[in-house]
Amino acid sequence: MVCLAGVIWGTIGPGVRLVHEWSRLSPLTISAYRAIAALVVLLVLALVTRRLSMLWSLAHRQWRRVILVGLLTAAFQLLFFIAVVATGVSIATVVCLGFAPILLLVISCAQQRRLPSVGRALPVLVALVGLLLVSLVGDAGEVAPHPVLGILTALGSGGAYALSIDVARPLSRRVDALTMTTATMSVAAAVLVPGGLLLAYVRGEALTTTDTNSWLVIGYLGGVTMVVAYVLFFTGLRSTSSGAAVVATLLEPVTAVLIAVLFLDERLTPAGLLGCLLIIAAIASLGRQSDDLQPQ
């Protein structure tokens, strides 16, 4: 289930890119409508499955953790959307998803109050080299109008993603995945919807579009990449080994890069490609480490 969630997440970047090109909606507006679509689906599912009382109980007992996970999720999604538009799908996805496991390793070592072993430090070093190659000499041509902004927001997105997983880990073992997803995504939507639409309005950006394909993709981004993927991910975290959990993170950039290269006319220079491969190798090697590196 975790691996399938990673594959689904790999379609987010290309989807955002297409909606932006077709409709000229900003990342803020896309993220707002995506959150609305996800929230509608989640609330309908909660009503049909009679989880509203469980949802209220979770929100009452664990409100601090639920709010924090929701805020971090909102930050992760918004920053990632901006990064995709600013620097392209390939670089934004690889930098974001490459940085997240590194930060999780640092958090794990800080919690255990010990320095990482050579076996843990080496993958981190390899990943940092890969990030440097992708950031500095990756393809930043036609598809990267604002490469510096894109790299910074991708790093911020990866950081928020890593922290959200770390904070959400206790919840994933106490409540079912649908209830947890509904609670945390409701908080995220409460931030993304009014904030995204209001800021877009103030900046004079388009708030709607007549392009049907854009609305269909937005519906997919909300219903599938938010609802289905997060339910799968939270379900998998209850029993998935550390290696499989890291593979989920690994499959997202691989999927996004393949889609971008095959269908969106993006490309990476040889050095940028090497950087991607180094990040992938580092993340894969982290998956073979002990369970305390599990990105939950």
pLDDT at 26: 86
What was the pLDDT predicted at 40?
Answer: 94
Helix (H, G, I), strand (E, B) or coil at 253: helix
Rounded CA-CA distance 148/289 in Å is: 33
pLDDT for 22-37, tens place per residue? 998 988 899 899 999 9
Helices (DSSP H) in 138-211: which residue ranges? 147-172, 177-202
Q: What is the mean pLDDT of residues 173-192?
A: 90
Look up residue 151 and give its amino acid.
I
Query: Over the stretch 86-136, which tens digit does the pLDDT of each residue have?
Result: 887 767 777 887 787 778 777 777 877 777 677 767 777 787 787 667 655
Tokens read off for 57: 């109980």
Q: pLDDT value at position 135?
A: 59
Per the rule left: phi > 0, alpha: psi between -120 and 50, beta: everything else, 24 is left
Cα dihedral sign, 13-178-66-51: positive
Q: Exposed (0-12), middle (13-18) or buried (19+): which is 132, by Cβ within 10 Å?
A: middle
Amino acid found at 213: N
Asked if the model's pLDDT at residue 215 lies above 90, the reply is yes
99, burial (CB in 10 Å: exposed 0-12, middle 13-18, buried 19+): buried
pLDDT tens-digit map of 232-290: 888 877 766 444 455 456 666 667 667 777 776 767 677 777 877 887 787 677 555 54
Integer Cα distance of 15 and 74 in angstroms: 18
Check whether 295 has a pLDDT greater than 90: no
* Interval 55-92: pLDDT, tens: 888 888 888 999 999 999 999 888 887 887 788 776 77
Does position 291 have pLDDT exceeding 50, yes or no?
no
Rounded to two decimals, the pTM is 0.77
